[in-house]
Amino acid sequence: MSINLTGESLIDQLKKVEEQAESECRNFTSLSELEDFRIKYLARKGVLAEIFENLKSLSSEEKPQVGKLANQVKLKVEGLFERKQQELKSQDSKRGQQFLDYTLPGQKNWKGGLHPLTQVGREIVDIFYGMGFEVVYGPEIETDYYNFEALNIPKDHPARDMQDTFYLPDAWLLRTHTSPVQIRTFEKRKPPVKIIAPGRVYRHESINVRSYCVFHQVEGFYVDTKVSFANLKGVLTSFVNQFFGKDVKLRFRSSYFPFTEPSAEVDISCILCQGKGCSLCKQQGWLEILGCGMIHPEVFKNVKYDYEKFSGYAFGMGIERICMLKYGIDDIRLFYENDLKFLKQF
């Protein structure tokens, strides 16, 4: 219906709309017809919306009277729609009961389950929790200080090139790792501190089979007197044995991270070929699973820990990578596409 202020008055048109809507609503026999009715009268571009739009052009003397009537008509049309909707739904329900065959076998409803990343993340956390680690969470929006500088990564440090960062206004950024939880915890607590910190992180990377702009990490760290690299090896060996199985071997390779010294990367023997060499491990027989090392003295200085008295280790792993290795998944994008054919496998 087209509204024309130079023709009939809006009051006359409102009365016609009320009569017409009441007449039409009586004859509906299906919910699809009722939906057409709703779109015609009550939608954003419907008849009533057009009338309300034209109220703007009325004089200040006319607006109260016409506006009041417009609201009354709208409420009445909404009431007509709701009553008819309940009536038709009730009729459909009765018809369904009438033709229900109780002798037919029941249909099982598929129940939703935990996402594979959630399952693997919880399993990792449970293993470390069983070894005495406390679970702590931190904010995903961080400052440059907590994400970089306090972790011995100053502004001119080449290690910043390893992490493409999403920067936000007012000097904020999306955290590129869960390591800032380490600094925030150290500022609030004195040793001994034994923490596991799971969470979501962000990096400005191209999306492909091996990388994504958002993923999940688990960071672990332990600070006390006389903490050694041997303690770190013992904890990570126990984790690998519990998560991947006792037959899986592991090795430590020298590496570099600005917040640990010495630093290492941990590999496990390929779970597909048992170290013989295959396409998954690129014929090497080994798969990288995490990075680790002894916490750098500069990090202790930034949180006012006595680095001559205390020592500690830290490690971090990507949950997506661990999940891909465990289940033989070859494309990280599958975790974020919400494909039920993929998700139902877990």
Whether 253 is in a domain gets the answer yes
- Last-in-domain residue among 70, 98, 126: 98
Domain CATH number, residue 122: 3.30.930.10
Q: Are 287 and 278 in contact (CB under 8 A)?
A: no
Distance CA 217, CA 342 (A): 22
pLDDT digits over 198-237, tens only?
999 999 888 888 889 999 999 999 999 999 999 999 999 9
Whether 178 is in a domain gets the answer yes
Q: For 24-49, what is the mean pLDDT?
A: 83
Question: Based on the domain organization, do 151 and 273 belong to the same domain?
Answer: yes
Distance CA 283, CA 276 (A): 7
Whether 2 is in a domain gets the answer no
pLDDT digits over 130-186, tens only?
999 999 999 999 999 999 999 998 888 776 766 688 999 998 999 999 999 999 999
pLDDT digits over 69-115, tens only?
888 888 888 888 888 888 888 776 666 555 667 787 887 787 888 99
Distance CA 236, CA 121 (A): 16
Question: Based on the domain organization, do 15 and 144 belong to the same domain?
Answer: no
Question: Based on the domain organization, do 329 and 206 belong to the same domain?
Answer: yes
Domain residues for 49? 10-98
- Domain count for the chain: 2
- Position 63 scores a pLDDT of 80
- Position 229 scores a pLDDT of 96
Question: Based on the domain organization, do 221 and 282 belong to the same domain?
Answer: yes
Whole-prediction pTM value?
A: 0.66
Question: Based on the domain organization, do 290 and 324 belong to the same domain?
Answer: yes
Whether 106 is in a domain gets the answer no
Q: Quick one: CA dihedral 159, 185, 267, 203, positive or negative?
A: negative
Question: Based on the domain organization, do 69 and 140 belong to the same domain?
Answer: no
Whether 3 is in a domain gets the answer no
- Last-in-domain residue among 98, 125, 142: 98
Whether 80 is in a domain gets the answer yes
In DSSP terms, 201 is beta-bridged to: 215
Question: Based on the domain organization, do 94 and 120 belong to the same domain?
Answer: no
Question: Based on the domain organization, do 267 and 180 belong to the same domain?
Answer: yes
pLDDT digits over 326-341, tens only?
888 888 999 999 898 8
Whether 202 is in a domain gets the answer yes
pLDDT digits over 235-294, tens only?
999 999 999 988 889 999 999 999 999 999 999 988 777 767 776 677 788 888 999 999
Look at residues 208, 194, 183 and name the one whose alpha carbon lies nearest to residue 312: 194
Question: Based on the domain organization, do 78 and 121 belong to the same domain?
Answer: no
- Last-in-domain residue among 98, 126, 157: 98
Q: Which two tokens stand for residue 168?
A: 């936000």
Whether 131 is in a domain gets the answer yes
Question: Based on the domain organization, do 83 and 213 belong to the same domain?
Answer: no
Question: Based on the domain organization, do 18 and 165 belong to the same domain?
Answer: no
Helices (H), the chain: 10-26, 31-42, 47-54, 62-98, 116-130, 144-147, 180-188, 229-243, 297-302, 319-327, 340-343
Question: Based on the domain organization, do 85 and 176 belong to the same domain?
Answer: no
Burial (0-12, 13-18, 19+ Cβ within 10 Å), 59: exposed
